[in-house]
């Protein structure tokens, strides 16, 4: 397992692990970099990555758990990846993204963004010397949807020049190009929207979850007793699976499938705030804790029978 790092520290550690184990270090490094680039650039949700954990098994399977911070709201978002479930790094690759959904954002990993990805790649096949003057015409008029402030022509030009030299460039390789950050990808998305008519806004893939609360107390304190019980349940399941208990192993898989189906079919109701309030009020019963300390029982309001007349 590679310990918690910033995204830039993990590749060197993965190469060292690969040299000791014989695993494909280049592939592991590429997976680490791509997962970070997708969550920081391909999905523009306002959260800047600051923590990247790459968890590696002895047979080469891996998981990534990374966290981003939104400085404006002082809230965090967590991104989860698991290699056996990834068919594509650029089309719905996550097992889950924890955080409140923000509606429409730039998200080229959306399944419906296939035409947008194709439009962006088409731009990279055009000669930058001919393409950039046309883009300059598109972004200069103040009344246009694509305004000059939205497009960094100098950076865009340098990325297009590098991309133009690459043969058989796909979306994953484009994301890994040096210099391609959120602003440049946004420029490509907006220019593709004007030239090719491809959409630029898609659904935020985050789905808020509050099963175990948050250490900052939001949406409620971490219920440590529930947390410990969940860890023990998972540990028992793993041990049974290791012992070859195929029946138990199959039951775990079926439970996972059932949970995924329930999630797909789930329709939120109107009492979400009441559910959160209930969890906050009862957190102390389950060992609720935050970085500030233990959760306390809410103060009881006196009822009529408790009021005394003087």
Mean pLDDT per 10-residue interval, the chain, length 310 residues: 61 93 96 96 95 93 94 87 96 92 93 97 94 80 55 87 93 95 92 91 83 59 68 73 64 61 54 63 68 71 51
Evaluate whether 101 touches 208 at the Cβ level (below 8 Å): yes
Q: Are residues 21 and 91 in the same domain?
A: yes
Q: Are residues 18 and 82 in the same domain?
A: yes
CA 85 → CA 96, 148, 165, 183, 291, distances in Å?
11, 40, 32, 29, 34
Q: Are residues 140 and 66 in the same domain?
A: no
Does residue 75 belong to any structural domain of this protein?
Answer: yes
Q: What is the pTM of this model?
A: 0.71
Does residue 182 belong to any structural domain of this protein?
Answer: yes
What is the pLDDT, as a whole number, of residue 307?
Answer: 46
Does residue 188 belong to any structural domain of this protein?
Answer: yes
Q: Are residues 60 and 87 in the same domain?
A: yes
Q: Are residues 163 and 220 in the same domain?
A: no
Does residue 76 belong to any structural domain of this protein?
Answer: yes
End-to-end CA, the chain:
68
Q: How far apart are CA 46 and CA 30, in angstroms?
A: 24
Beta strands 43-44 and 96-98, pairing class? unpaired
Nearest Cα residue to 234 out of 255, 213, 214, 215:
255
Last residue of a domain, one of 76, 103, 130: 103
Q: How far apart are CA 207 and CA 96, in angstroms?
A: 7
Does residue 37 belong to any structural domain of this protein?
Answer: yes
| Residue 261 structural domain | 213-266+280-292
Does residue 193 belong to any structural domain of this protein?
Answer: yes
Q: How far apart are CA 108 and CA 92, in angstroms?
A: 9
Does residue 301 belong to any structural domain of this protein?
Answer: no
Can you tell me which residue has the tokens 């088409």?
A: 122
What is the pLDDT, as a whole number, of residue 7?
Answer: 59
Does residue 254 belong to any structural domain of this protein?
Answer: yes
Q: Are residues 250 and 199 in the same domain?
A: no
Last residue of a domain, one of 80, 103, 126: 103
Nearest Cα residue to 284 out of 229, 226, 231:
226
Q: Are residues 115 and 99 in the same domain?
A: no
Q: Could you tell me the two tokens for 100?
A: 């409140």
Q: Are residues 134 and 62 in the same domain?
A: no
Q: Are residues 158 and 189 in the same domain?
A: yes
Q: Are residues 170 and 235 in the same domain?
A: no
Dihedral (CA of 289, 6, 160, 169) sign: negative
What is the pLDDT, as a whole number, of residue 119?
Answer: 97
Nearest Cα residue to 42 out of 186, 211, 248:
186
Q: Are residues 126 and 85 in the same domain?
A: no
Last residue of a domain, one of 60, 87, 103: 103
In the chain, how many domains are there? 3
Q: How far apart are CA 177 and CA 124, in angstroms?
A: 12
Q: Are residues 171 and 189 in the same domain?
A: yes
């Amino acid at each position: 397992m590679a310990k918690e790092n910033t995204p830039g520290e993990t590749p060197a550690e993965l190469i060292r692990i690969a040299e000791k184990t014989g695993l494909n270090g280049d592939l592991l490094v590429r997976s680490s970099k791509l997962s970070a680039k997708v969550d920081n650039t391909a999905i523009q949700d306002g959260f800047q990555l600051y923590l990247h954990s790459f968890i590696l098994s002895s047979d080469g399977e891996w998981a990534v758990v990374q966290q981003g911070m939104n400085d404006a709201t002082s809230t965090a978002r967590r991104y989860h990846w698991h290699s056996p479930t990834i068919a594509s790094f650029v089309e719905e690759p996550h097992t889950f993204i924890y955080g409140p959904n923000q509606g429409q954002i730039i998200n080229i990993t959306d399944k419906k963004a296939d035409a947008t990805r194709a439009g962006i790649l088409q731009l990279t096949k055009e000669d930058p010397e001919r393409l950039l003057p046309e883009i300059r015409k598109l972004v200069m008029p103040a009344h246009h949807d694509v305004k000059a402030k939205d497009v960094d022509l100098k950076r865009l030009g340098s990325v297009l020049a590098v991309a133009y030299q690459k043969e058989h460039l796909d979306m994953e390789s484009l994301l890994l190009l040096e210099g391609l950050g959120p602003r440049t990808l946004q420029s490509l998305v907006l220019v593709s929207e004007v030239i090719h008519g491809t959409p630029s806004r898609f659904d935020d893939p985050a789905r808020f979850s509050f099963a175990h609360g948050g250490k900052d107390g939001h949406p409620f304190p971490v219920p440590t007793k529930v947390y410990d019980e969940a860890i023990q349940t998972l540990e028992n399941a793993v041990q049974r699976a290791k012992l070859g208990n195929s029946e138990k192993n199959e039951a775990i898989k079926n439970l996972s499938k059932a949970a995924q189906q329930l999630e797909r079919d789930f329709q939120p109701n109107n009492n979400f705030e009441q559910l959160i309030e209930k969890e906050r009020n009862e957190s102390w019963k389950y060992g609720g804790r935050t970085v500030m300390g233990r959760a306390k029982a809410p103060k009881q309001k006196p009822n009529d029978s408790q009021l005394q007349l003087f």
